[in-house]
Structures are given as structure tokens and as C-alpha cells.
Amino acid sequence: KQEVTQIPAALSVPEGENLVLNCSFTDSAIYNLQWFRQDPGKGLTSLLLIQSSQREQTSGRLNASLDKSSGRSTLYIAASQPGDSATYLCAVGANQAGTALIFGKGTTLSVSS
Amino acid sequence: EADIYQTPRYLVIGTGKKITLECSQTMGHDKMYWYQQDPGMELHLIHYSYGVNSTEKGDLSSESTVSRIRTEHFPLTLESARPSHTSQYLCASSEPRTGDTEAFFGQGTRLTVV
């Protein structure tokens, strides 16, 4: 059974720092991996989608990498801002039919000004 | 911003009441999902649908039911609400035919059963 783990569970940094959030998964046979942002009491906002054949995706200050063989993904946030404060969720798609995404518990990020 | 909408956003209801949580998407996606999320915990899949007239139960056992009569609409119903149903419910959709399979989520419904 696929399990997704995110480390650390919480992270506090001063504004301007570059940071890395980690995601690991137990079964490397994934179809894709998606990073989301969740603000308190809100739904999920998709940040980046990486297909299994890809190694990384970039959007603005965000860069996500994928190493399927080792079961790892990282989300790199450059020059963090207070507005980046949120919970970041990693989710893996099991197969092409897309039965559903399997989620980690998330990393709660706090960026202080 | 994704075109997927959930209503109501917040609901407080008494034990034993029947409730329906609404989810609609305007993207024409075939696949829709319902997840349940308790505070500080990961999302768990409770129902999904591959298209009209298709519904399946997810990994997490749930006393709720769903229907998919129209592509854009995927409501979730609790026949008799209990305090153990208190949680956040998140609806999502994706379109695997494009080969992209990016999932989009609604804003969620926070349900409290008293």
C-alpha cells in the first residue's frame, strides 16, 4: 500500500530564506506527483504537477523535483515571503486510470517578516 | 483558478439530520472525487466517479453516499448525521483524457454535527 511521508511536519523561517520541503513515497510505481498549498480552513491550490517521466517542474519561485527510483520529491521555495505561509501537501497518483491521489500529512510553513 | 465549487462552505447541523454537500465543476472533467480531512491529518478518499452513472467507494469507509447524474455535479449525502461525521469535506476533479491528470480542488465544506 502506497504511503506518503512529508518532512518536516512544521517549519519556521525568516523572510528571504530559501527552503526545501521533502516528500517520500514507498511505491515507486507512480503515474504523477502533485504539490498543493492549503491555507487554514480552505481547499487545496495546485502548485506543480510532475509526470512520472519528468525530473522537475518550475513555477515562479517554486521548483519541484522527482526521483522515482528513490521514492522522493522535493519542493524548493526561493526567497520565501510571509505570504508563503501555509500547509504544503504532496500527493502521488497511483496509475493512469487515476483512481485518486494519495496524500501526505503536509508541512506547515511559517515565514516571519 | 480552478472552476470547481462547493456549497455550503460551513454547516452546523443537529444529529440525525439528512444533509447534502454540493460540488460542481465547469471544466467538463470526467473524474470527480470526495476527500475527508480531519484537522492536522492527511486527506482520505471516500468516494470517486469516472463519469456519469459511475460511483465507487474510496479507501476510507464512509456512511455517506454519492451520485453522478450529470458530468458537472457530484453531490455527497449523509442520511443521518452524527458527531463522528464532523470534518472537512473536499471535492476534486481531474481529466485523464488530456494526459495531464492534474487535480483541482474546491474550497471545501466544513461540517460540524452537534
> Sign of dihedral through CA atoms B88, B90, A12, A74?
positive
pLDDT tens-digit profile of A69-81? 999 999 999 999 9
Q: Is the CB of residue B89 less than 8 Å away from at least one CB of chain A?
A: no
Judged by CB atoms closer than 8 Å, whether chains meet at B40 and A105 is answered as yes
- Residue A97 pLDDT > 90, yes or no? no
The 3-class SS string of chain A reads CCCEEEECCEEEEECCCCEEEEEEECCCCCCEEEEEEECCCCCEEEEEEEECCCCEEEECCEEEEEECCCCEEEEEECCCCHHHCEEEEEEEECCCCCCCEEECCCEEEEEEC
For the stretch A2-5, contacts whose Cβ atoms lie closer than 8 Å and that sit 24 or more positions apart, written own/partner, are A2/A26, A2/A27, A2/A30, A2/A92, A2/A94, A2/A102, A3/A102, A4/A90, A4/A91, A4/A92, A4/A102, A4/A103, A4/A104, A4/B42, A5/A104, A5/A105
pLDDT at B2: 62
First CA to last CA distance, chain A: 41
Using a CB-CB cut-off of 8 Å, the residues of chain A touching B6 are: 43
Nearest Cα of chain A lies from the Cα of B16 at a distance, in angstroms, of: 25
Judged by CB atoms closer than 8 Å, whether chains meet at B92 and A104 is answered as no
- pLDDT band with cut points at 50, 70 and 90 for residue A42: confident
Nearest Cα of chain A lies from the Cα of B71 at a distance, in angstroms, of: 17
pLDDT tens-digit profile of B11-52? 999 999 999 999 999 988 999 999 999 988 889 999 999 999
Option in B31, B42, B58 nearest A103 (CB): B42
pLDDT tens-digit profile of B49-107? 999 999 999 888 788 999 999 999 999 999 999 999 999 999 999 876 665 678 899 99
Nearest Cα of chain B lies from the Cα of A55 at a distance, in angstroms, of: 15
Q: Is the CB of residue A96 less than 8 Å away from at least one CB of chain B?
A: yes
Maximum distance among all Cα pairs of chain A, rounded to whole angstroms = 44
Q: Is the CB of residue B11 less than 8 Å away from at least one CB of chain A?
A: no
